[in-house]
Amino acid sequence: MNSHHDDIRAVMWRNDKLYLLDQRLLPHQQKFLAFEKTAAVADAIRDMVVRGAPAIGVTAAYGVVLAARGVYATGPSAWRQAIETELALLAAARPTAVNLCWALERMKRVMEDVQGDPEPILLQEAKLLHEEDIQANRRMGELGAALIERPCSVLTHCNTGSLATGGYGTALGVIRSAFAVGRVEGVFADETRPWLQGARLTAWELVQDQIPVTLLADGAAAWLMSRGKIDWVIVGADRIAANGDAANKIGTYSAAVNARYHGVKLMVVAPLSTIDRSTPDGKAIPIEQRPAIEVLSLAGQPVAAEGAAAWNPSFDVTPAELIDAIVTEKGVVLKPDAARVAALFDAA
């Protein structure tokens, strides 16, 4: 893979601090913010400085490192109890993204065996988790690209690239890998209202990678499909239930319904940690409701009639029967259902 296909990192640990690329300012400004307190990290997750389920998980792991530093400095005897308050702040920051809780549970397991200062061991684990995410994304890129049988154009929704992960990306990682071997000729990117992750982030990443990208309004996707312009819709997921139902950025369900009607295939790309086996189906996935102002305004400017209300779920759920393939780093599930998802874990 050419280096210009993977030179973006939104989460970094440097000089004993966590640095996050402030994604609210993209594409016009590239600014990293430094963090030394766990509460500030939780705020950054909640306020969309960092977003994307895998990136949130990596960020949370580094947040645990900062939490350990803060509580251990107050006394080595009671830090395990003191750190629970800090971990609760992180866990509450974004309720839908299962990778957040998965990363916290992984860090907690490491804490159980720590003797002495926990920070060095937890930092080692956070860095390992980060690197594993990048390698998993590269593997998913290979597996997903192999499903694309002929050179074609694809549609994606929201942002699933290096900005949304530890690096390389999930759905955008598949697109990167497929483009590198000539199976993707161009990408159509939904704008993704109300935060415009497709317009601000995905289009920016693909321009950096010199991959042809065409932006379209979310409502234009069905008409694009009707004209035979795309073969695959490739998206990520913030949580996948045990039966294969997938929660992703609001608008994904619409894309899935439109894809099925028009004979376009749908690929969901996410690490195994995104599959929540304790959640039986999509109805049990908590859907984050965000402030109405995000819909009623744009870049701080009101766009709706004064007095109008807004409904602003951040995610929707695509039923498994509308999904042609779930791609993980441990394998691919075609036509997912509960038995096939369970078999993936058995094989892994």
Query: What residues are annotated to the active site?
Result: 238
Residue 20 half-sphere exposure toward CB, CA atoms < 13 A: 28
Q: For residue 218, how far is the Cα from the chain centroid?
A: 19
Tokens, residue 95? 């309720």
Residue 190 gets the label, from left (phi > 0), alpha (psi -120 to 50) or beta, of beta
The answer to whether 63 and 39 are in contact (CB under 8 A) is: no
Residues 193 and 74: their CA atoms lie apart, in Å, by: 44
Could you tell me which residues come within 8 angstroms of residue 193 by beta carbon, excluding any fewer than 6 positions away? 218, 251, 295
CB 264 within 8 A of CB 225: yes
CA–CA separation, 285 and 273 (whole Å): 15
* Phi/psi of residue 291, nearest 5 degrees: -60, 145
CA distance 35 to 64: 12
Q: Coil, strand or helix: which one is 269?
A: strand
Determine if the peptide bond prior to 194 is cis (ω within 30°). yes
Residue 83: CB atoms within 10 A of its CB come to: 22
Beta pairing partners, 35:
18
Consecutive H or E run containing 200? none
Q: How far apart are CA 105 and CA 134, in angstroms?
A: 20
* Cα distances (Å, whole numbers) of residue 121 to 118, 181, 293, 348: 6, 40, 42, 26
